[in-house]
């Protein structure tokens, strides 16, 4: 078995890595200054010029970049290469306002594929594997990213996209897929379908790479059990490149950031001060080697912690712990911060399926929280009292986790729509 996709870089001593980052950063900042007038104006507006940046240690002098900046840049403003050099776009799944368009040159695609190939190898893949990509293909980066990574590694790649479960399972059994790449909610759904149809003995899956959605450790265990695999997390954002900005290794104690391509900082989301290593804050990324769409100090809105410690896998890249949830996903209900991942963790811990829907509304100026949960055979008996008792237990467990009351509705199995890309878990009817 292969341990690394690019051993020299992935296991580079920290000192050497730091100087590589510095060298690449200086090139990247010159590139945006010279080739992207919008960036230059942004830097000038905050009183920084290229001369002020002597090394990567001066990065904190640079202004932050936000999703709104990128939205305003629609369609071309933040482009740092002529369109004739660009070969592809991808786009975010924004439902409100303008989408963010990310541009890629051949070099940028290459770099992204490389990141995904590293993630695949870290999940135990080599060229003999059959990689089943059930992320959506199209503007969404999930399908394109893992597809590219799998090509790069030389695996037989099945560009399945999501949906059409019958075909997914047919190819999975007939072609012997060994690595599954999709959203965690779709993996859970495929697991359910495989077990329902009694196909567990016919599948050859050994590992899965799941991302693009927040998911809990409990959900990981659930997926691992239902598919009989080891489940790996992967992280990325279209704004930075796509999946593969960071990835899990066999130790599964955080995701290694591809630091030769992306420089990570943690800042206080309110004061924007850079926080010392080990403190929780907002994750900020700077690309080090992108041509068409470089990002300097991009605020991800993800709240997490960076860990610099030796990893048993031998990689020297810093690790980020699983984000507690995107501040985008975070709901403020009755003044309390609620992450869908907290609700999911309670459901699984109480023996329910991870398929749920959160409905938030405002009645008489007060927020209401309703959670629809599917009934499962494990929780069902002929005794109404027992079923009601279990429901009550779930309500108190949710109260203990969230600090606020949630009304639980037990609904028929499969009545909550399964996601084919990202799950629609939250319906916020408040008109704020």
Partner 1 sequence: MTVKQISVFLENRYGQLHEITNILAQAGINLTALNIAETKDYGIVRILVDDVAKATDVLIGAGCVVSVNPVQVIAVPNKSGGLNDTLEKIADANIDIEYMYSTVDGVNGEAKLVFKVDKPELLEKTV
Total residues contacting partner 1 by CB under 8 A comes to 17
Distance between CA atoms of 85 and 308, rounded to whole angstroms?
37
User: How distant is the alpha carbon of residue 283 from its chain centre?
Assistant: 13
Per-residue contact flags (x/-) with partner 1 for residues 363 to 382, judged by CB under 8 A: ------------xxx--xxx
Q: 46 touches which of Zn ion, partner 1, none (CB within 5 to 8 A by kind)?
A: none
Q: Give the shortest CB-412-to-partner 1 separation in angstroms.
A: 4
Q: Give the shortest CB-411-to-partner 1 separation in angstroms.
A: 5
97 C-beta neighbours (distance < 10 Å), count: 11
Name the residue among 333, 306, 297, 326 with its Cα closest to residue 429: 333
- Identify whether 75 is preceded by a cis peptide bond (ω within 30 of 0): yes
Are residues 55 and 26 in contact, defined by beta-carbon separation less than 8 angstroms?
A: yes
Which residue shows structure tokens 């992306």?
262
CB of 115 or CB of 169, closer to partner 1:
169
Q: Give the shortest CB-296-to-partner 1 separation in angstroms.
A: 51
CB of 51 or CB of 382, closer to partner 1:
382
Q: 384 touches which of Zn ion, partner 1, none (CB within 5 to 8 A by kind)?
A: partner 1
DSSP H helical ranges for 278-373: 340-349
Burial label, 167 (beta-carbon count in 10 A; 0-12, 13-18, 19+): exposed
Q: 48 touches which of partner 1, Zn ion, none (CB within 5 to 8 A by kind)?
A: none
CB of 84 or CB of 381, closer to partner 1:
381
Q: 45 touches which of partner 1, Zn ion, none (CB within 5 to 8 A by kind)?
A: none
Are residues 246 and 304 in contact, defined by beta-carbon separation less than 8 angstroms?
A: no
Q: Give the shortest CB-359-to-partner 1 separation in angstroms.
A: 14
Are residues 232 and 181 in contact, defined by beta-carbon separation less than 8 angstroms?
A: no
CB of 45 or CB of 412, closer to partner 1:
412
Burial label, 13 (beta-carbon count in 10 A; 0-12, 13-18, 19+): exposed
Q: Give the shortest CB-381-to-partner 1 separation in angstroms.
A: 5
Residue 389 CA neighbour count, 13 Å, CB half: 8
Q: Give the shortest CB-260-to-Zn ion separation in angstroms.
A: 15
Q: Give the shortest CB-190-to-partner 1 separation in angstroms.
A: 16
Per-residue contact flags (x/-) with partner 1 for residues 380 to 419, judged by CB under 8 A: xxxxx--xx--------------------xxxxxxx----
Name the residue among 93, 131, 342 with its Cα closest to residue 216: 342
CB of 259 or CB of 420, closer to Zn ion:
259
Structure-block tokens of residue 319: 């690790």
Q: Give the shortest CB-121-to-Zn ion separation in angstroms.
A: 12
Q: Give the shortest CB-1-to-partner 1 separation in angstroms.
A: 40
Distance between CA atoms of 405 and 256, rounded to whole angstroms?
37
CB of 313 or CB of 346, closer to Zn ion:
313
CB of 384 or CB of 432, closer to partner 1:
384
Q: 313 touches which of partner 1, Zn ion, none (CB within 5 to 8 A by kind)?
A: Zn ion
CB of 85 or CB of 391, closer to partner 1:
391
CB of 139 or CB of 410, closer to partner 1:
410
Q: 51 touches which of partner 1, Zn ion, none (CB within 5 to 8 A by kind)?
A: none
Q: 59 touches which of partner 1, Zn ion, none (CB within 5 to 8 A by kind)?
A: none
DSSP state of 253: S
Question: Distance from first CA to last CA of the chain, Å, rounded?
Answer: 54
CB of 387 or CB of 397, closer to partner 1:
387
Q: Which of 15-38 are b and which e, b meaning 16 or more Cβ less than 10 Å from the residue's Cβ? A: eebeeebbebbbebbebbbebbeb
DSSP-based helix, strand, coil % in the chain, nearest 5: 35, 25, 40
184-196 vs 165-174: helix axis angle to the nearest 10? Answer: 70
Q: Give the shortest CB-415-to-partner 1 separation in angstroms.
A: 7
Q: 376 touches which of partner 1, Zn ion, none (CB within 5 to 8 A by kind)?
A: partner 1
Are residues 348 and 354 in contact, defined by beta-carbon separation less than 8 angstroms?
A: yes
In the complex, the residues that contact Zn ion under the rule CB under 5 A are 249, 251, 311, 313, 315
Binding footprint of partner 1 on the chain (CB under 8 A): 375-377, 380-384, 387-388, 409-415
């Amino acid at each position: 078995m292969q341990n690394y996709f690019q051993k020299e870089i992935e296991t580079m001593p920290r000192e050497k890595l730091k100087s590589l980052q510095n060298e690449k950063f200086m090139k990247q900042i010159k590139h945006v200054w010279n080739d992207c007038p919008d960036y230059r104006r942004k830097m000038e507006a905050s009183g920084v010029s290229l001369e002020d940046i002597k090394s990567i240690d001066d990065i904190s002098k640079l202004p932050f970049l936000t999703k709104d900046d990128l939205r305003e840049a629609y369609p071309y403003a933040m482009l740092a290469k002529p369109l004739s050099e660009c070969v592809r776009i991808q786009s975010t799944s924004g439902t409100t306002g303008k989408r963010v368009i990310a541009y890629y040159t051949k070099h940028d695609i290459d770099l992204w594929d490389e990141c995904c190939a590293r993630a695949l190898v870290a999940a135990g893949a080599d060229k003999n594997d059959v990689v089943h990509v059930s992320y959506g293909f199209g503007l969404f980066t999930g399908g394109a990213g893992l597809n590219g990574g799998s090509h790069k590694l030389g695996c037989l790649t099945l560009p399945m996209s999501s949906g059409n479960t019958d075909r997914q399972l047919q190819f999975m059994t007939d072609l012997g897929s060994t690595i599954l790449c999709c959203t965690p909610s779709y993996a859970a759904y495929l697991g359910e379908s495989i077990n329902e149809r009694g196909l567990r003995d016919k599948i050859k899956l050994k590992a899965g790479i799941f991302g693009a959605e927040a998911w809990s450790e409990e959900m990981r265990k659930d997926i691992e059990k239902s598919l009989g695999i080891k489940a790996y997390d992967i992280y990325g954002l279209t704004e930075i490149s796509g999946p593969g900005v960071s990835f899990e290794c066999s130790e599964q104690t955080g995701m290694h950031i591809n630091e030769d391509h992306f420089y990570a900082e943690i800042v206080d989301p309110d004061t924007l001060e850079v926080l010392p290593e080990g403190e929780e804050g907002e994750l900020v990324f700077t690309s080090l080697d992108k041509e068409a769409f470089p990002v300097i100090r991009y605020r991800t809105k993800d709240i997490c912690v960076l860990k610099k410690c030796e990893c048993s896998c031998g990689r020297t890249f810093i690790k980020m712990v699983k984000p507690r949830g995107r501040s985008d996903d975070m709901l403020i209900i009755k003044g309390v911060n609620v992450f869908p991942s907290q609700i999911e963790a309670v459901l699984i811990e109480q023996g329910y399926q991870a398929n749920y829907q959160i409905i938030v509304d405002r009645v008489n100026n007060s927020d209401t929280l309703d959670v629809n949960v599917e009934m499962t055979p494990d929780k069902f008996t002929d005794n109404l009292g027992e079923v009601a008792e279990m429901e009550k237990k779930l309500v108190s467990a949710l109260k203990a986790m969230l600090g606020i009351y949630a009304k639980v509705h037990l609904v028929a199995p499969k009545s909550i729509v399964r996601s084919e890309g990202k799950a629609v878990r939250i319906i916020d009817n408040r008109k704020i």
